[in-house]
Amino acid sequence: MSDSARVQETAPRSVRGVRDVGRIPTPALVIDIAAMDRNIQRMATFFADGPCRLRPHFKAHKTPDIARRQLAGGSCTGLTCATVSEAEVATLALGELLADVSGDILIANEPVGPGKCARVATLARRVPVTVAADSVAGLEALDRAATEAGVTIGVLVDLDVGMARCGVPPGGAAVSLGRRVVAARGLRLRGVMGYEGHLVGLADRDERDARTRQAMAGLVETAERFRAEGLPCDVVSAGGTGTYDISGRVDGVTEIQAGSYVLMDSDYARLDLPFEQALWVLGTVISRPTPARCVLDCGHKSMSKDHGYPSVRDVAGAAVLALNDEHATMSVPSDCLLGIGDRVHVQPSHIDPTINLHDVFYVLEGDRVVGVWPIAARGYQEHREIA
């Protein structure tokens, strides 16, 4: 069995035979495959010309079937992952395809903790791997693991461009860390990265544009300083769905790590983006206690509300009032005809944590289920078979 087929087999047997949307057990995630493919093509077309390319973020969907379509869509330098376990899943399922497109895996995070650096080194035997780093301690652990495994691991020095999360300040501190990478036996300095995540959701386009360019200035200037100091800096990595067309047109930025564009959510839907909603949480009406209220079977355990309550697609004037563990309570017009057992599509406010609550996607062409795709990298997994 191929690596890809092994990952595909993680789909629960109980759902593989579902062929009609009316038979999908709820709560469930459903994908409009035509809308998703249009999103993939729009993003690939944007990066088809020019020096900046796309590195789709696997963490948004955690699903090899979607990543395969993104890579096949073109304009990609490889994949971005947030965790070592995501990178393990992507390597198992997509290693051959990454080689075909001359791509690699970027773990855009610091691999710190028991066994993580060793697992990264194991991955590097299979595919080219690059990781983010912002500390000497992290570099030393990574170098030990790479040297013991007899591999070379790529490194991007992680800069804080204003998000106040991980990263060293642009400038001298980054250069000093870059020198430490060059001096290491098992590491290869590839460049710098910085995520302007604090800006991707700004509603005002002019403000988003101006502040993103300001954030990218520090990143690009640091890259230029690397080169002036004789340090390798071929990769300048940044960006997200909300800023892809700003950061992706800043001179000196070489790749964008966008992820949510492929499926979208209600938070990004507020912005002036050319991508369609392709993902829905499908719920069933389980109670209509009053003419103005009904209850669905999709609550906190089915979707996140960290960017706000979900939106309702199917019922004009309906709104989600509350989420509990297993319930979504909606207000509805009193003349609404929803009855017990009816289906409702709701649009989550944040796809990443919502997807992480589910095992599979049901893939739709109209009302026909054309695939059941395992969300293979959800939760914590250590994929020992990668060795």
Q: For residue range 228-286, what is the model confidence (pLDDT) as tens digits?
A: 999 999 999 999 999 999 999 999 999 999 999 999 999 999 999 999 999 999 999 99
Nearest to 75 by CA among 97, 100, 56: 56
**Residue that has been written with the tokens 């399922």 in this structure:** 93
Share of the chain above pLDDT 70, in %: 94
Residue 337 has what pLDDT?
94
The answer, yes or no, to whether residue 4 has pLDDT greater than 50, is no
CATH at 177: 3.20.20.10
Q: Given the DSSP bridges, would you call strands 279-290 and 343-347 parallel, antiparallel or unpaired? A: antiparallel
Residue 172 has what pLDDT?
97
The answer, yes or no, to whether residue 18 has pLDDT greater than 80, is no
Greatest Cα pair distance, the chain, in angstroms, is 71
The answer, yes or no, to whether residue 378 has pLDDT greater than 50, is yes
Residue 289 has what pLDDT?
96
In a domain, 235, yes or no: yes
Residue 261 has what pLDDT?
98
pTM above 0.75, yes or no: yes
Nearest to 248 by CA among 201, 200, 178, 204: 200
In a domain, 105, yes or no: yes
What residue ranges in 195-278 does DSSP mark as E strands?
235-238, 255-256
In a domain, 100, yes or no: yes
The answer, yes or no, to whether residue 184 has pLDDT greater than 90, is yes
In a domain, 228, yes or no: yes
CB 152 within 8 A of CB 146: yes
Q: CA 82, CA 37: separation in Å to the nearest integer?
A: 23
- The conformation of residue 307, written as its DSSP 8-state character, comes to T
Q: CA 341, CA 329: separation in Å to the nearest integer?
A: 15
Residue ranges making up the domain that contains 179: 33-263
Q: What band does 8 get if pLDDT is binned at 50, 70 and 90?
A: very low
Q: CA 88, CA 110: separation in Å to the nearest integer?
A: 15
Residue 101 has what pLDDT?
85
Angle at CA 82, nearest 5°, toward 56 and 301? Answer: 100
CB 194 within 8 A of CB 167: yes
**Domains in the chain, number:** 1
In a domain, 359, yes or no: no
Residue 383 has what pLDDT?
63
In a domain, 135, yes or no: yes
**Across residues 18-28, what is the average pLDDT?**
92
Q: What band does 16 get if pLDDT is binned at 50, 70 and 90?
A: low
The answer, yes or no, to whether residue 5 has pLDDT greater than 90, is no
pLDDT tens, residue by residue, 322-373: 999 999 999 999 999 999 999 999 999 999 999 999 999 999 999 999 999 9
Residue 12 has what pLDDT?
54
Share of the chain above pLDDT 90, in %: 89
The answer, yes or no, to whether residue 149 has pLDDT greater than 80, is yes
Mean residue pLDDT of the chain comes to 94
Q: Given the DSSP bridges, would you call strands 235-238 and 255-256 parallel, antiparallel or unpaired? A: parallel
In a domain, 179, yes or no: yes
**Residue that has been written with the tokens 């009609």 in this structure:** 20
In a domain, 290, yes or no: no
**Across residues 27-52, what is the average pLDDT?**
97
pLDDT tens, residue by residue, 98-135: 998 889 999 999 999 999 999 999 999 999 999 999 99
Residue 301 has what pLDDT?
96
Residue 379 has what pLDDT?
78
